[in-house]
Each structure stands twice: as structure tokens, then as C-alpha cells.
Copies of this chain bind each other. A is one copy, B any other.
Amino acid sequence: MEPIRWKGDRLELLDQRVLPEKTVYVTCRNAAEVAQAIRDMVVRGAPAIGCAAAFGVALSKGSQDSFEILAKSRPTAVNLFWALERMKKAKDLEAEARAIFEADIAANREIGRLGAELIAERARIMTHCNAGALATAGYGTALGVIRSSKNKNISVIANETRPYLQGARLTAWELVQEGIPCTLITDSMAGHLMSKGEVDVVVVGADRIAANGDVANKIGTYALAVLAKRHDIPFYVAAPLSTFDPKIPDGSHIPIEERPAGEVTGYRGTRWAPEGVAVRNPAFDVTPADLITGIICEKGVVLAPNREKLEALIR
């Protein structure tokens, strides 16, 4: 599975809007086209949009415009801004973008290795949204932990993740291909399954981690963390260091993107809500650090994350 293919003079992005029905690549030849692909969710997932943005800068030869247009594409995932900062300082733009890409895969594999140590034999793992190969340069963060636990006879409960259905379309697809047993539920069923003792552990990705350990991730993550706490179910966040934002003191400062109403009133061409209804569509929410059992990154696992522990980790 190659969500991002660098071809020297162009970037090919696997169009995640039409998966799993169709496997189509969108070709981007400059930063503006990459920014458009990020905005339209051709490519999504915090690490993946960081990698795509880096290649976008390289395609436009580091012009000031390229940085500006990419910085405006989506607001919540910090990996985008982290990648742009690295590209600003780089001498060889293509080499730097490739280095960001390769380092993301390496980080994911290390996250998978470290995270798998936390997963028990036959664990029933709940995940939300898609923090898989498709959300990264490859392999995945939360799904990296799951992939690396494959030999433990695990199974996965995938929340469908309305409105964009990344769980139903992307996570379920990755897991079916990987041969890992996967059960799909609607987001509203997570609490019921937890109350019935059918969930052993929750593992999710992240879009931005504040200095105190608060985590912005796909909308619905916060509710899962509250429910997991009530049922004493460990709740892990898997994310590379590029997702950490030490400049932001806590989650209340993380900008939360509001996306178009049409994603909520229906799906693709089908509208089911009546005309005249208002819509809210926040794409992310914030899970406070005190609900998080541990953050798994390539430098280690931070249990009961807080400001001091994250400072020590990043230092």
C-alpha cells in the first residue's frame, strides 16, 4: 500500500476519497496542487499530510508561495507545520522531503515495535478513524501497533468514524488486506461493547499533542477516552514526534477545523437530512492527558503523560 509516491518531477497521491471501491492516484506537479489535495482529503492523516507538504515544497522549489498555500490547507494536524519548518531550513529540498518520508516509515515501525509490547495475547483492540499506512508514509501509527501485534491472535474493532468514514472505508480495508480479523461498528456502539466487556484496549492516532499531553485527534476520540476510563480500559495514543507541539501549552489552544456541512447531511451524492437544518462539523476533538494511559512514540512509551515527562522525552 503506497499512499504517497514520489516520482522526481511529480507526487502521486492515492485518492483516499474513493477507497476502497477504486484505486486511483491523483498527480500533483506543484505546491498548489498538493495543497488542494490535502484540503480535499485526497491525502489525509497527520503524518501523511506532513510528508505530502514536504514534497509539495520541493515541487515548487521552495518558493514563498508554496509555504503559504500549504500552511493554509488544513489547520489542526501539526505535522504539516513541522514539515514546512524543516523544509524552510533545508538546503536540498528533494533530499529533505525524502528524508521526512523515510523517517516517518522508520518511526512508525518503531512505534509498532514498542506498542506491541503493550498488547496482550488475543487482545480485542478498538481503534477510531484511520491511523494506518494510509495516514502516514506507510505502516501506520495505531495500525502500526496493530500490525506489529499480528502474531498475538489479536482482533480489531473499527469504529466507522462518521462523517468521513475513515474507519469503515480505510481501516477496515487495510485490516482485511492484512488478514487481521476486523469487526466494524458505528461510533455510537463503542460504549455498549465496552460495557459488555468486549474491548481490552483502545489504540488511536493523533493530529497534535500539546506540551501537557492533551491530544487532538479525529472527532469522537474524546468520547472513547471518557468511556474507556469508566470501564478501566487502557487508552493509548500512537504518534511520531512530528505530531508533538511543545509550543502549545494545552489542548484548548489547538485550532479545531470545521469542515463543510455536506459531509454531515449525507454521504457523497446521497443527502438524507432535510433542507433547513443547521450543521456543525468539527473534524477533531481534544482528549485531556489525564484520560490517556500512554503515548507511544518512536522514542518510547510515556505512561500517564504530563508536561514534565513530555519535556524530558523531547529534550
Q: Which chain A residues numbered 163 to 210 have a C-beta less than 8 Å away from chain B?
A: 163, 165, 168-169, 172-173, 175-176, 181-193, 195
Contact of A265 among B168, B227, B286 (CB under 8 A): B168
Contacting pair B226 A264 (CB below 8 A):
no
Chain A's interface size range is 35 or more
B-contact 0/1 string along A243-259, CB 8 Å cutoff? 00000000000001000
Q: How far is the CA of A222 from the CA of B190 in the complex (A)?
A: 10
> Residue-by-residue, is A143-179 near B (CB-CB < 8 Å gives 1, otherwise 0)?
0000000000000011111110100110011011000
Q: How far is the CA of A278 from the CA of B20 in the complex (A)?
A: 16
A281: which B residues are within 8 A, CB to CB? 185-186, 189
Of all chain B residues, the one with the shortest Cβ separation from A278 is B183
Whether a CB of chain B sits under 8 angstroms from the CB of A103 is: no
- Taken together as a complex, chains A and B put the C-alpha atoms of A165 and B169 apart, in Å, by 19
Known A20-B274, A264-B160: A280·B168 in contact at CB below 8 Å: no
Contact in complex: A264, B230 (CB < 8 Å): no
Copies of the protein in its oligomer: 2
Q: Assuming the A-B contacts A187-B186, A265-B184, A280-B193, are A274 and B173 also in contact, with contact meaning beta carbons closer than 8 angstroms in the complex? A: yes
- In the assembled complex, which residues on chain B have CB atoms less than 8 Å from the CB atom of A120? none
Measured in the bound complex, the distance between the Cα atoms of B267 and A280 in whole Å is 21
Which B residues are in CB contact (< 8 Å) with A195? 222, 285-286
**How far apart sit A292 and B86, CA to CA, in the bound complex (Å)?**
51
For A162, the chain B residues whose CB sits under 8 A away are 160, 162, 186-188
Asked if A278 contacts B188 (CB within 8 A), the reply is no
CB distance from A268 to the nearest CB of B (A): 7
Q: Give residues 207-256 of A contacting B (CB, 8 Å).
A: 219-220, 222-223, 226-227, 230, 256
Q: Does A277 lie within 8 Å of B191, measured CB to CB?
A: no
Contacts of A172 in B (CB 8 A): 273-274, 277
- Contact call B277/A183, Cβ cutoff below 8 A: yes
Interface residue from B191, B264, B267, B279 paired with A272 (Cβ < 8 Å): B267
Q: CA A191 – CA B186 in complex, angstroms? A: 16
